[in-house]
Structure formats: structure tokens, C-alpha cells
Amino acid sequence: MSAMDPRNADVGKLATLVAGAAVLAVLLGTGLPDGTGVETAAAAPASTAAASAEAPPGPATPATDGNRQQEASDSAAAGQQEGGGHGGAAQQESGHGSSAQQQEGGGGHGGGPDIPRIFLVLISALLLAKFLGEGFERLGQPAVLGELLAGVILGGSVLGVIPGPEAGTTLVHVMEVLAEIGVAILLFEIGLETDLKEMFRVGGSATAVALIGVVLPAGLGFAYWYYFDPQIGAHPAGIEFWMVAIFVGATLTATSVGITARVLTDLDQLHTPEARVIIGAAVIDDVLGIVLLSIVAGLVGGAAVTVMSVAQNIVVAFGFLIAAVVIGNWAAPYLFDVVDKMRVRGVLLVTALSFALLVGALAAMVGSAMIIGAFAAGIVLSSTNQFDTVVERVEPVADIFTPIFFVWVGVPVNVALFIPGTEDFSTGVLAVGGILTLIAVVSKVVAGYSVRDPDVSSSAIGMGMVPRGEVGLIFASIGLSTGVLSSAVYSAILIMVIVTTFMAPPFLKVIFANKAETEAAAAEAAEAASETDIPEV
């Protein structure tokens, strides 16, 4: 039988995408109860208000009007809010409003949650994420791009099946919780696959990348906004201009460790030196981001920010990570040896996941990030006798929950920002978003080149630090809720988040492929040279 025509192979790849979209179209068109589109208007991302510069930034306000400034004045609470989760945790306060709002999202009998509808939305999200992921893999790209695109398609700016975080409905809260579980399990998996000794070997490089990757984008972002004063939207009343500049700079700092880790896994590069530096730097970056956010929120709220308070935040954030690993490495082997002897079905998996969620919850409670705690739990269990069994049994659970996280990251994306002629399209916002994107990319790539090891790809490290993802969304949402950022500025930041999130996977694939080709060519040249050096007998 003759080999398949490459053109037919390409048709097959496209057919996979079309088939996936068709299945979901049938599911969405015939399966969802009547009236599910009522949330579409409420689901529109906050950036849809960009064209209405005079309006207050209410459409995407994560907190209720009565407590905005109170939240802003409490820096510790702001740190907890960001640290508590990375899939939209900053918006959780929105669900504490009226019961009528809950009923709007639930739509079930007696005002309760509409369980069948929630099931159908989850089915839609999972299937579309997997179908598009398959399509992207067949096109030679990481599957995570398909999962992010699934969120965009299901979000308020396209189909409106999943409302944005600002809607505050029952469905939103369900998606938020599942997304939080998904990213926690993802980082737990990454921790399981992490060699602590190897991480310590690249500790200096990771720290340098993280520090430069926080200071440089924050400084450049602040300088651009403060000295060039982009004229987009109305300046929020009662907010000092320098505060806006500081907040814009802060939104450019934190890397999405969840997205980067997933891309490295998809590319089968998780055990490379570059991956160890990227993951280590992203974890440090995330902790520093939490500290920076608490400082900025304190400044906005008028709280006194001292060297002592900053030092305390840093000690708590990093101290918890160190303490969790040290104490966990002492206690976990005994605990899991006992659990392993139990007979009840699934007890090892349940205990492992409970351990990950517990450490994550404790991390959030002390002001660190939940995903940092989950990552630490994975590192701890990687040294237990049950390591292989835990990895094997966690993978199917991650296959369900992790895609929901990436779908949720894609939901707030407003496609209309990029379509001329739509109400939300603004050349000014698009231009500012482009400049912020340039700053965000260049600063992280420069940070990657702080690694001087000739055997390590600095460009891979820099590009691995580029995705802002859900972390950038959380920072921007808090700025919007506290009244620091106008809706137009929020939209510009959203463009930066979208572009950096979607550009990293394909660029990383090219960079690692080029590195592999270069290493293969060098190996062949070395082998050829060694053969020519053999003396003739």
C-alpha cells in the first residue's frame, strides 16, 4: 500500500477539528435547556466596556460595590485573595451577593442550581477541549492551545455557554472550584516529577531569572505608563496617576507556572535543565508576585507599607514553602506507609490528593499561593515508596480536572477586541495592549538570558517565562475592582495576557526543536571527527 499523501493527512487533521466542533455544536444546540443564553450578556468579559470610557468599571467588578475600598485597604486580604487560587479566585467575592443572582446562574427547580445544565456545560468544556487539543497535536502544536481555545469559544464573547467570572452565578462558582482543583492537581503532578536535588542545582539560575523577570517588567511597565501617559479611557476619579502606573507594572510581572508547566509536559521537556530553571523561577516569581500584589493593594488603599511589612510577607511566603517540604519529607513516608497497607479501594489516591489540597489550602491561609502548596506536596510525595503508584493513579484524575482550568483561563477572552467594526474594538486600546505585550515578552526573554550555562537554552527559559495567563487576569481584575484601572486600561492588559498566553507554546516548540537539531548535528560532527582521528594500521 502506498504511503498516504501529505495533503490527505492535512485534510485528516482539519477533519478532526471540524468533527470536534460539529459534535459540540450538536451538543450545545440540542442538549442545553431553554434559556441558557440568558447569561450571555452578563458573561461578556470586563473588557467589553472599553468603548464606554465614562462608565464606571462595574461590568467586571469582582467585589460588591459596598466593599471595594475596604478590600483595597487591606493588603493582607489582597494577598490572600490572589494567593488563594489561580483560576479566577480574585472574583470569588462576586458570588456573595443576592440570592436572585444565584438563581439567575442556577436556573434549577426552586431557585437551586440547575444540575443538568451544569453537567452539560462540563461535558461541552471537556469534549471541546479534548477535540481541539487533538487537532492541535495533529498540527504539531501543544494540546494546551486547544484547551485554551475551547474556553474562548465557550466564553461570553463567542457562544456564551460559560459566563465570565464577573457574572457571579452558580455555574461560575462551580467552574471556579473545578478550575482551582485542576491547577492544584497540575502543580501537584509537576511536583511529583520534580527532582529536588536537581532543583537545588539550578537554584541560583532560577532565582536570577525570577528576580530579573519581576523587576524588569514592573519597572518598564511603570516607566511606560508614567512617562508616556497613554490616553485611553477616562482616568478613575480619586486615584493618583502614579498608582495606575504601579498597578500596570505589577500586572506584567507574574508568570503563569500552570500554563508553562503544562506546555513543557506536552512537549516532553519537563526533565530538561531548561524546564527545571523555568519551573523554579516561575514558583519564585509567583511568590514574589503575591508579595508585590499585597504591597500595591496596600498603597491603593492608603495603608502604610514599610520595609518590615514587606519583609514579613516575603518570609511568610517563602518560609511556608520551605517548612512544607522539610516537615512533609519527615512525616509523609510514615503516613503513606500506613495508608499503603489499608485494604479499602482508592485510599492511596484519595490520601495523596487530600494531602495536596491540604497543603495548598494551608499555603493560601498563610498568604502564599495555593498552587505553591500543591507543588510542595508533590515534591514531598516524590520521595515516598508509593511514588510510582501515586503518579499512575493521579494521571487520570488530572486528565479530567486540568483541562477545565485551561478552559476557564480562556473564558474571559473578548474576541471582539481584535475585530475591527465591533463595538469593543479600539485602535488606541489595541496599540497600548501591543506595547504592553512587547514589554511583557522582551523583559522575560532578557531575564532568560541571565543564565550563562552554554548547555542550556536561554531563549527557551525566557519564552517559558512569558505566559501571564490566569495570574495576569487576577492582577488586572483586582485593579479593576478597586477602581485603580479603568475598563479601557483593563482591556489593554487583557490583550497582553491573551497574546503572551497563546504565543508561548508554539514558540517553545520551535525553540526546543531547533535545540534538538543543533545537538544532533553537533553529535554527528563529533562522531565524524573522532573517526577521522583514528590512525590507519
Q: Looking at the whole model, is its pTM more than 0.75?
A: no
pLDDT for 502: 84
> Which pLDDT band holds residue 375 (cuts at 50, 70, 90)?
confident
> Would you give the DSSP letter of residue 344?
S
Task: Name the average pLDDT for the chain.
Answer: 76
| Mean pLDDT of the region 428-445 | 93
Closest CA to 501 of 425, 408, 397: 408
Confirm if 284 and 317 have CB atoms less than 8 A apart.
no
Q: Is residue 528 part of a domain?
A: no
> Which pLDDT band holds residue 95 (cuts at 50, 70, 90)?
very low
pLDDT tens string 149-190: 898 899 888 888 888 777 778 888 999 899 989 989 988 988
Confirm if 412 and 46 have CB atoms less than 8 A apart.
yes
Q: Is residue 358 part of a domain?
A: yes
Q: Is residue 537 part of a domain?
A: no
Q: Is residue 52 part of a domain?
A: yes
Q: Is residue 346 part of a domain?
A: yes
pLDDT at 440 over 70: yes
Confirm if 113 and 391 have CB atoms less than 8 A apart.
no
Report the number of distinct structural domains present in the chain.
Answer: 1
Q: List Cβ neighbours of 518 (8 Å cut-off, separation of 6 or more).
A: none
pLDDT for 72: 38
User: Quick one: how far is CA 108 from the chain centroid?
Assistant: 31
How many beta carbons lie within 10 A of that of residue 112, not counting itself?
12
Question: Per 3-state DSSP, what percentage of the chain is helix, strand, and coil (rounded to 5)?
Answer: 75, 0, 25
Confirm if 46 and 60 have CB atoms less than 8 A apart.
yes
CATH number at residue 30: 1.20.1530.20
Q: List Cβ neighbours of 416 (8 Å cut-off, separation of 6 or more).
A: 48, 157, 422, 423, 424, 425
Q: Is residue 290 part of a domain?
A: yes
Confirm if 475 and 293 have CB atoms less than 8 A apart.
yes
CB-based burial, 448-482: b 16+ in 10 Å, e otherwise: bebbeeeebbbbbbbbbbbbbbbbbbbbbbbbbbb
Confirm if 96 and 382 have CB atoms less than 8 A apart.
no
pLDDT tens string 487-506: 788 888 888 988 898 888 88
Phi and psi for 59 in degrees, rounded to 5? -55, -25
Expressed as residue numbers, the domain containing 157 is: 6-95+106-517
pLDDT for 12: 61
Q: Is residue 535 part of a domain?
A: no
pLDDT for 14: 53
| Dihedral sign of CA atoms 364, 367, 368, 369 in order | positive
Q: Is residue 130 part of a domain?
A: yes
pLDDT at 94 over 70: no
Q: How far apart are CA 518 and CA 537, in angstroms?
A: 34
